[in-house]
């Protein structure tokens, strides 16, 4: 009789924008039943994904925090940035692969949706198709943000454009000027550049800043009222579409 174990499955579980009540039933079930739980975090921080599931993990669950070796210490365009992060993701994937080969299932906690600008994608491409990987989709952070403004983000034929605040200012302006509805993510230290780009594109007066969407410390305000406010990296700027409607 064969003693080979069936490989375990790596579950990339989307947790939604931050409020645990907005997790899917499937995500809740997987998180509560997990024996192995992995999550990304900045060194010295508990990690946003881990914070969302506080009090939900089973007793005895083995946690595997994956600490980014760099975040903003090196410019994104520096080749060293990609080299360091590539090695980091490869190391994390190897650890998860070893668990799966022993027959262990692993839940990887993912903020928002795993396939929407998430770090899990870098594990997925390194694990699949050699390791069974399943992805649980979720409400995105931007959905939580535009809902927090109390206004529909798109109407009729509006085209929604999603931008990263890490883009160059001229590129931001070009996209902002042609967009009907607009979402800008990864704000943080890019806030001044993003504000200038919105002003150059003629969109500043319509922009809203949402911080910590759906969380207890949520903040929503017109961007023009934010002044010199220091914003978190995961804050989001929304410009609502004004398209066709009955």
User: Based on the domain organization, do 37 and 102 belong to the same domain?
Assistant: yes
Averaged pLDDT score across all residues of the chain = 93
Q: What is the pLDDT of residue 143?
A: 97
Question: Does residue 2 lie in a domain region?
Answer: no
Question: Does residue 69 lie in a domain region?
Answer: yes
Query: What residues contact 153, with CB distance under 8 A and at least 6 apart?
Result: 146, 160, 181, 183, 238, 240, 241
User: Based on the domain organization, do 33 and 80 belong to the same domain?
Assistant: yes
We report the CATH number of the domain holding residue 163 as: 3.30.950.10
User: Based on the domain organization, do 123 and 75 belong to the same domain?
Assistant: yes
User: Based on the domain organization, do 100 and 210 belong to the same domain?
Assistant: no
Question: Does residue 120 lie in a domain region?
Answer: yes
Last residue of a domain, one of 105, 139, 173: 139
In the numeric block, which tokens belong to residue 107? 């839940």
User: Based on the domain organization, do 104 and 129 belong to the same domain?
Assistant: yes
Instruction: Indicate yes or no: pTM above 0.85.
Output: yes
Last residue of a domain, one of 95, 110, 139: 139
Question: Does residue 67 lie in a domain region?
Answer: yes
User: Based on the domain organization, do 97 and 208 belong to the same domain?
Assistant: no
User: Based on the domain organization, do 17 and 116 belong to the same domain?
Assistant: yes
User: Domain count of the chain?
Assistant: 2
Question: Does residue 1 lie in a domain region?
Answer: no
Find residue 102's DSSP bridge partners.
none
Q: What is the dihedral of CA 172, 168, 166, 91, to 10 degrees?
A: 130
Last residue of a domain, one of 94, 111, 139: 139
Task: Identify the domain containing residue 210 by its residue range.
Answer: 142-239
Mean pLDDT by 10 residues, the chain (246 residues): 73 97 98 98 92 97 95 71 93 97 97 96 95 97 97 97 96 97 94 96 98 94 86 90 93
User: Based on the domain organization, do 90 and 160 belong to the same domain?
Assistant: no
Question: Does residue 188 lie in a domain region?
Answer: yes
Question: Does residue 49 lie in a domain region?
Answer: yes
Q: What is the pLDDT of residue 72?
A: 63
User: Based on the domain organization, do 96 and 16 belong to the same domain?
Assistant: yes
User: Based on the domain organization, do 149 and 129 belong to the same domain?
Assistant: no
User: Based on the domain organization, do 59 and 73 belong to the same domain?
Assistant: yes
Q: What is the pLDDT of residue 73?
A: 56
CA distance 39 to 140: 17
Q: Which of 117, 159, 158, 157 is nearest to 138 (CA)?
A: 117
């Amino acid at each position: 009789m064969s003693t080979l174990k069936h490989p375990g499955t790596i579950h990339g579980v989307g947790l939604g924008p931050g409020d645990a009540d907005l997790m899917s039933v499937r995500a809740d079930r997987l998180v509560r039943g997990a024996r192995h739980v992995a999550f990304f975090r900045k060194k010295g921080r508990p990690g946003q994904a881990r914070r969302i599931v506080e009090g939900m993990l089973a007793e005895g669950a083995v946690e595997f925090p994956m600490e980014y070796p760099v975040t903003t210490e090196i410019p994104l365009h520096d080749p060293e940035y990609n080299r360091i992060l590539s090695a980091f993701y490869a190391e994390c994937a190897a650890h998860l692969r070893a668990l799966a080969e022993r027959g262990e299932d692993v839940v990887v906690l993912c903020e928002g949706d795993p396939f929407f600008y998430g770090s899990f994608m870098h594990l997925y491409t390194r694990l699949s198709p050699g390791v069974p990987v399943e992805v649980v989709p979720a409400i995105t952070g931007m959905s939580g943000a535009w809902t927090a403004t109390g206004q529909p983000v798109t109407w009729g034929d509006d085209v929604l454009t999603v931008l990263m605040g890490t883009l160059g200012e001229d590129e931001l302006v070009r996209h902002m000027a042609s967009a009907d509805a607009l979402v800008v993510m990864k704000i943080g230290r890019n806030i001044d550049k993003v504000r200038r780009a919105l002003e150059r594109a003629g969109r500043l007066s319509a922009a809203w800043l949402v911080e910590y969407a759906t969380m207890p410390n949520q903040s929503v305000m017109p961007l023009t009222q934010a002044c010199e406010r220091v914003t978190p990296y995961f804050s989001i700027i929304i410009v609502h579409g004004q398209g066709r409607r009955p």
